[in-house]
């Protein structure tokens, strides 16, 4: 029986069967393809199609194509490592965002200097142009094969697979357990780079052996790889851990792994963010609350956290009764809601909380301020009637847009995350919640991506991913729609009919967490914070000791305006004082020498523009008043002053 094979543009031909890449070649669609979709299913280019199908190429530069290319490069790297370091055992080697890694158990220690050797061997394998062939074995035969080779990690993975037939891939002497698809030949992998080494526990469990993780990346063309590598170098320059030390903002101490210590200058930034957060929430009709850090275990059982989140929680005991340190703020907020009878006239009720939470993260994933065990969420919970859902979601979206775009200048994209595998509650409530979020997005005209299965255990969510100045994305804000908690906690309000009704609960954050958002800002600005956030806004640079008196007078005036000011009183040359102020990313430097003392003026330098000339004090007032400040709460800066 003849089948019909169709191209994306409608062209077609008939045949009993066809190899995918031959079909693409017939349509002149083969160039640039690393795999294909057959009726929407990803397949190798070497796959044979026997039934009527729509065949479309997956190009290397596409999102799916890059994932396939990078996964294939991880196999290439593992093959090279096995050649150079016989006896190496391979674990897992997935493609990840912007790259890939492979976890390896090695007899010796791999060092950064070995990466070049591995890359060179990878290029030799590329030149050898091995076909990448998929083949299948019965499950027991595949188990025997990997046991005989001593591949204990592959054996463990295979023992958990219930399929009778196992998919494997071969390239030259190297065979790996994999579902694919992969590029058809190693010669197609040309533009790659190994980036770094790390330790990784097998399956993320600290009780297991520590493996060597090799990170790398691959791209479809040389130019894209070079752009990425430049971005990586820029990211290293902006690393918030490095800048945090250099600018004396925060530290992570051995005595508190995953628990950041904020220094005085770091607290300035943190408190300015808090002041800004409070100001925006007052304007948006939120009331601020605070709930306890430690609450009875029964509360967490009731909320579902005990069943769905226990492995991430810390516990303690009080008066011989079990308690838990809160990993989330929502159960405490619910108790505040339930502390009195609520009416429909009270809704929507918007309650915000800067709540400190503790979550157990494995030591291997801790990363400066980005991944910590203790952090403060800019949380809020909104209690609404069903007919208020869309309007309130859209109000949150407007607040997020204002904060990200208007204040910090970030671009961002939106994702809708749906029911996860381990979800709590009735499927019908989930469907209703997902539909409500989708309708709110579509009515707002928002461009969003669907992220299936990534919702919270109690409800679907909208996630906001902001993009920093070097193109990296960070998930920060979220809106989670929850029909489950109101049911579990029997939350009610009195409706206009005098009867009890169930409110709907919206969980949301805008910044995400103060710690992580600060880390993002440090890297986004490379430590050169805008004037309103800068720990030190102005540094006075007296040229000689006899100029200190006028510097002290100017300091007093500026502090009277509410500015954050330092005087560099060191016995150093002016050039060094300027360089040090530049290194500390101070927005304005005011040089005071003989001429400035005699005229009652200052010479102004701006960190990016350099010398702005000599200004009287009144001119400084105009200069600083023109700086952007989303708080607008510095009235003293706008009052005219008398000069002593």
3-state secondary structure of 516: helix
The active-site residue out of 240, 461, 508, 577 is 461
pLDDT, tens digit, for every residue of 595-630? 999 999 999 999 999 999 999 998 998 999 889 889
Which of 145, 154, 272, 330 is the catalytic position? 330
Hey, what are 302's tokens? 């009731």
Higher pLDDT: 454 or 354? It is 354
* Catalytic site residue from 103, 114, 379, 568: 379
Kindly report the pTM of this predicted structure: 0.82
User: Annotated catalytic, 41?
Assistant: no
DSSP state of 162: -
Distance CA 565, CA 540 (A): 8
Q: Residue 113 CB: number of other CB atoms within 10 A? A: 7
User: pLDDT tens-digit profile of 27-86?
Assistant: 999 999 999 999 999 999 999 999 999 999 999 999 999 999 999 999 999 999 999 999
Question: If you average pLDDT over every residue of the chain, what do you get?
Answer: 92
Is 265 tagged catalytic?
Answer: no
Nearest to 186 by CA among 124, 119, 135: 124
Q: Which of 411, 348, 400, 401 is nearest to 378 (CA)?
A: 400
Give the β-pairing of 500-501 and 473-482. unpaired
Single out the catalytic residue among 342, 381, 472, 564.
Answer: 381
Question: Would you place residue 195 in the very low, low, confident or very high pLDDT band (cuts 50, 70, 90)?
Answer: very high
Length in residues, the chain: 644
Report the share of the chain in percent with pLDDT over 70: 98
* Choice among 71, 359, 539, 577 that is catalytic: 359
How does DSSP assign 178-198, residue by residue? ------SBGGG--EEEEEEEE
Active site residue 359: yes
507 noted as active-site residue: yes
The CA distance from 418 to 454, in Å, is 6
For residue 484, pLDDT over 90 is answered with no
Digit-coded pLDDT (tens) for 380-429: 999 999 889 989 999 999 999 999 999 999 999 999 988 887 777 777 87
Contact between residue 210 and residue 200 where contact means Cβ atoms under 8 Å apart: yes
What's the rounded mean pLDDT across residues 567-596? 95
Catalytic residue among 377, 388, 537, 584: 377
Please determine, for residue 640, whether its predicted confidence score (pLDDT) is greater than 70: no
3-class secondary structure, 459: strand
Based on the residue annotation, tell me whether 338 is a catalytic residue of this protein.
no
Q: What residue ranges define each of the domains in the chain, with the CATH number in brackets?
A: 3-59 (3.10.20.30), 64-238 (3.30.980.10), 264-525 (3.30.930.10), 538-638 (3.40.50.800)
Q: Kindly indicate the confidence band of residue 310, based on its pLDDT and cuts at 50, 70 and 90.
A: confident
Instruction: Tell me if residue 116 is catalytic.
Output: no
Query: Residue 635: pLDDT band by 50, 70, 90 thresholds?
Result: very low
């Amino acid at each position: 029986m003849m089948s019909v094979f169709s191209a994306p543009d409608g062209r077609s031909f008939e045949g009993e069967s066809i190899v995918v890449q031959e079909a693409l070649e017939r349509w002149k669609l083969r160039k640039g393809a690393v795999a294909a979709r057959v009726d929407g299913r990803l397949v190798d280019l070497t796959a044979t199609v026997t039934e009527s199908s729509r065949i479309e190429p997956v190009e290397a530069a596409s999102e799916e194509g890059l994932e396939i290319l990078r996964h294939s490069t991880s196999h290439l790297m593992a093959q090279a490592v096995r050649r150079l370091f016989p006896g190496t055992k391979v674990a897992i080697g997935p493609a990840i965002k912007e790259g890939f890694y492979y976890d390896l158990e090695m007899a010796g220690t791999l060092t950064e200097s070995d990466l070049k050797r591995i890359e060179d061997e990878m290029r030799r394998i590329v030149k050898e142009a091995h076909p990448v062939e998929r083949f299948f074995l019965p499950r027991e035969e595949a188990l025997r094969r990997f046991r005989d080779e001593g591949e204990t990690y592959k054996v463990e993975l295979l023992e958990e697979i219930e399929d009778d037939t196992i998919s494997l891939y071969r390239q030259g002497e190297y065979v790996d357990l994999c579902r694919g698809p992969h590029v058809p030949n190693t010669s197609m992998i040309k533009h790659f780079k190994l980036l770094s080494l790390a330790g990784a526990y097998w399956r993320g469990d600290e009780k297991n052996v520590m493996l060597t993780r090799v990170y790398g990346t691959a791209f479809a063309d040389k130019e894209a790889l070079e752009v990425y590598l430049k971005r990586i170098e820029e990211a290293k320059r902006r690393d918030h851990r490095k800048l945090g030390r250099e600018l004396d903002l925060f530290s992570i101490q051995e005595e508190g792994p995953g628990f950041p210590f904020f220094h005085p200058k770091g607290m300035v930034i943190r408190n300015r963010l808090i002041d800004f957060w409070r100001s925006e929430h007052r304007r948006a009709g939120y009331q601020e609350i605070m709930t306890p850090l430690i609450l009875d275990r029964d509360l967490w059982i009731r909320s579902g956290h005990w069943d769905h989140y226990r492995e991430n929680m810390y516990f303690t005991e009080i008066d011989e009764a079990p308690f838990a340190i809160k990993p989330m703020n929502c159960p405490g907020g619910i108790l505040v809601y339930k502390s009195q009878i609520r009416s429909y006239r009270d809704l929507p009720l918007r309650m915000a909380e800067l709540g400190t939470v503790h979550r157990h993260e494995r030591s291997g994933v801790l990363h400066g301020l980005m991944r910590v065990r203790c952090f403060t969420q800019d949380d809020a919970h909104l209690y609404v009637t069903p007919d208020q859902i869309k309007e309130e979601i859209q109000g949150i979206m407007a607040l997020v847009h204002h904060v990200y775009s208007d204040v910090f200048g970030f671009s961002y994209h939106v994702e809708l995350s749906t029911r996860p595998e381990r979800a709590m509650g009735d499927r019908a409530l989930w469907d209703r919640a997902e539909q409500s979020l989708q309708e709110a997005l579509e009515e707002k005209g928002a461009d969003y991506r669907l992220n299936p299965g990534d919702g919270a255990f109690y409800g679907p969510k909208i996630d906001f991913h902001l993009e920093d100045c070097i193109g990296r994305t960070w998930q920060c804000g979220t809106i989670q729609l929850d029909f489950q908690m109101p049911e579990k906690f029997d939350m009610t309000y009195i409706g206009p009919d005098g009867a009890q009704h169930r409110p709907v609960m919206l969980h949301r954050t805008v910044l995400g967490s103060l710690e992580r958002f600060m880390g993002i800002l440090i890297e986004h600005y490379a430590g050169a914070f805008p004037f309103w956030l800068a720990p030190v806004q102005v540094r006075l640079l007296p040229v000689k000791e006899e100029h200190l008196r006028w510097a002290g007078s100017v300091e007093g005036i500026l502090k009277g305006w509410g500015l954050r000011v330092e005087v560099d009183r060191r016995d150093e040359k002016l050039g060094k004082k300027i360089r040090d102020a530049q290194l500390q990313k101070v927005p304005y430097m005011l040089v005071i020498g003989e001429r400035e003392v005699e005229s009652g003026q200052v010479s102004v330098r701006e960190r990016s523009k350099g010398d702005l000339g000599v200004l009287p004090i009144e001119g400084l007032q105009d200069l600083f008043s023109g700086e952007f400040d989303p708080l607008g709460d510095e009235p003293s800066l706008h009052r005219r002053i008398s000069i002593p």
